[in-house]
Structure 1
Amino acid sequence: MKKVKFDQEIYTFHIDFAGHVSNIVYVQWMEIGRLKLLAEAGLPVEKIIRDFGLLPTLIETKIRYKQQLFLGDQVQIEVWLSRLKNVSAIMEFSFCNQRRELVAQGSQTGLFIDAGTHRPAPLPKSAHQMFLPFVQGDEGS
């Protein structure tokens, strides 16, 4: 199983009134991770839209915070799929600090939406196969 791994810098504008990284920054990092996973699978968003007429759309985001991140900390993010169905997928995220301590975990549920009807639509088999290396868990249809 492959994971997409990347580092994100923490900037002053990521810090909230409590002096740690704001919760919304994790959601932004998750979006970056989602786009990186799609690209690494060979299916960047623009290709999914152009070639298949599908819009990869999020319907749920969850984050569990375990520790705080502060200015000067380093963060490494890992992204993979825990479920891949015909019209939906669940992405998992882990956020670790420079000591490799888990600081947060998250997940996002996404649907493939037909660009014309805006209704859920199945991912073509060829595209489904491209995501399989990133799945740890349920690969059913």
Structure 2
Amino acid sequence: MARIQIDLPEHFGFSTAIPVYLSHINYSGHVDNALLLTLVTEARVRYFQSLGYTEMDVEGVGIILADAAVQYKSEAFHGEIMDISMTATDFNKYGCDLLWRMRDQVSGREVARGKSGIVFFDYGTHRIAPVPPAFRQLFE
């Protein structure tokens, strides 16, 4: 089986620090693979806030997650602070990819990297919507 390989940009436009809580830890004593995505979700919410948006209102439309890919690199443990960096890339008519990297704040150890594909969505009509031009322009 081919392994997922995610190439990251040299520069991310955003970074946030998020602590690892006991609720993120599995029976093996490290961050659960599925719960790691809850940390990424929190980072995504903060990313949109830093741009002046919410996930429900980006120039009048919201976003939905279309796909996600994760490359796990090392364990993360309770009490560590994760620096999660994020940027938007690979725009198409209806969405883009959010590339992200998670590292331990103290050691710099890479914990995971990933891609979250988003599409813009009109919650009033329940249909996908084109990428808002003002949002796309932030990354040109």
- The alignment covers a number of residue pairs equal to 129
Q: 2:87–2:98: 8 Å Cα contact kept in structure 1?
A: yes
Q: 1:4–1:33: 8 Å Cα contact kept in structure 2?
A: no
In structure 2, list runs of 5 or more residues that go unmatched.
1-10
Residue 45 of structure 1 corresponds to 55
Percent of pairs identical after alignment?
22
Equivalent residues in 2 for 1:12-51, closer than 5 Å: 12-48=22-58
Instruction: Give the structure-2-normalised TM-score.
Output: 0.81
Q: 1:4–1:36: 8 Å Cα contact kept in structure 2?
A: no
Q: 1:95–1:103: 8 Å Cα contact kept in structure 2?
A: yes
In structure 1, distance between residues paired with 2:55 and 2:73: 31
* 1:105 Cα deviation after fit: 0.5
In structure 1, distance between residues paired with 2:97 and 2:49: 16
Residue 65 of structure 2 corresponds to 58
Amino acid at match of 1:44: T
CA root-mean-square deviation: 1.9
In structure 1, distance between residues paired with 2:115 and 2:20: 21
In structure 1, list runs of 5 or more residues that go unmatched.
133-138
* 1:118 Cα deviation after fit: 2.2
Moved runs in structure 1, 4+ residues, more than 6 A?
A: none
Q: Kindly indicate whether residue 68 of structure 2 is the aligned counterpart of residue 75 of structure 1.
A: no
